[in-house]
């Protein structure tokens, strides 16, 4: 197993990345892989630091039996050393991480781990930001993240 410390990153750290984190923790626990891993999430922006995830994120998790307890925090330079892999939710998040000084080799687009998207061009791999939309956007990203989390777990546990 190569990667053991995972940081899920989006813009606000209240919608996409805390949901990805919660799904990944849930599945890693079910597969008895959690003990050897460090898993966290963070945002590029500072706006929501210290607060809970968006209520719609918490609700979509609840509907699928997954608790989303994370408290928002901002990405910091130390994360680029203390995590092996940073999972960017979209290309803008990746661009921002690179601009902040993160090594390219530590960053992957989250949906690049979705095995059903193996041949897909990366411009189609963004997890769309659901913040300004309705609850259906949260349901949509739940399924995207669920598939990507499965693929990521499979890759790092094989
Ligand atoms: P997230 O969504 O990046 O998936 O957490 C957003 C949440 C808040 C904001 C932007 C994106 N915001 O600008 O406050």
The pLDDT value given to residue 158: 83
We find that the CATH architecture of domain 5-157 is: 3-Layer(aba) Sandwich (3.40)
Candidates 15, 47, 48, 111: which one to mutate for ligand 1, based on the most atoms within 8 Å of Cβ? 15
Q: Is the dihedral of CA 36, 41, 44, 49 positive or negative?
A: negative
Rounded to the nearest integer, the mean pLDDT of the chain is 96
pLDDT tens digit string along 92-121? 999 999 999 999 999 999 999 999 999 999
User: What are the residue numbers of the active site?
Assistant: 10, 16, 129
Return the percentage of the chain with pLDDT > 90, whole number: 96
The rounded distance, in Å, linking the Cα atoms of 9 and 90 is 9
Closest C-alpha residue for ligand 1 atom 13: 12
With a cut of 80, say whether residue 3 has pLDDT above it: no
The partner residues of 74 in beta bridges, in order of sequence, read 43
Mean pLDDT, range 120-133, rounded to an integer: 96
Closest C-alpha residue for ligand 1 atom 12: 12
Mean pLDDT, range 75-104, rounded to an integer: 98
Distance from the alpha carbon of residue 140 to the mean position of ligand 1, in angstroms: 16
Q: What ligand 1 atom has the least distance to the C-alpha of 141?
A: 4
The domain spans of the chain are 5-157
Q: How confident is the model at residue 122 (pLDDT cuts 50, 70, 90)?
A: very high
With a cut of 70, say whether residue 143 has pLDDT above it: yes
The rounded distance, in Å, linking the Cα atoms of 146 and 158 is 18
With a cut of 70, say whether residue 43 has pLDDT above it: yes
pLDDT tens digit string along 49-71? 999 999 999 999 999 999 999 99
The pLDDT value given to residue 1: 56
Closest C-alpha residue for ligand 1 atom 6: 12
16 lines ligand 1 (CB under 6 A): yes
């Amino acid at each position: 197993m190569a990667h053991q410390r995972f940081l899920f990153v989006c813009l606000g750290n209240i919608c996409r990345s805390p949901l990805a984190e919660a799904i990944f923790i849930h599945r890693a626990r079910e597969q008895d892989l959690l003990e050897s891993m460090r898993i966290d999430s963070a945002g590029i922006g500072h706006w929501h630091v210290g607060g809970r995830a968006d209520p719609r994120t918490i609700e979509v998790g609840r509907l699928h039996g997954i608790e989303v307890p994370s408290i928002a925090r901002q990405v910091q330079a130390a994360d680029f050393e203390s995590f092996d892999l940073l999972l960017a939710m979209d290309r803008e998040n990746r661009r921002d991480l690179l601009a902040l000084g993160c090594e390219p080799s530590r960053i992957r687009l989250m949906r690049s781990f979705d095995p059903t998207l193996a041949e897909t061009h990366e411009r189609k791999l963004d997890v769309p930001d659901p913040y300004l939309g309705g609850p259906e956007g949260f349901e949509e990203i739940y399924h995207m993240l669920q598939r990507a989390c499965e693929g990521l777990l499979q890759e790092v546990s094989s």
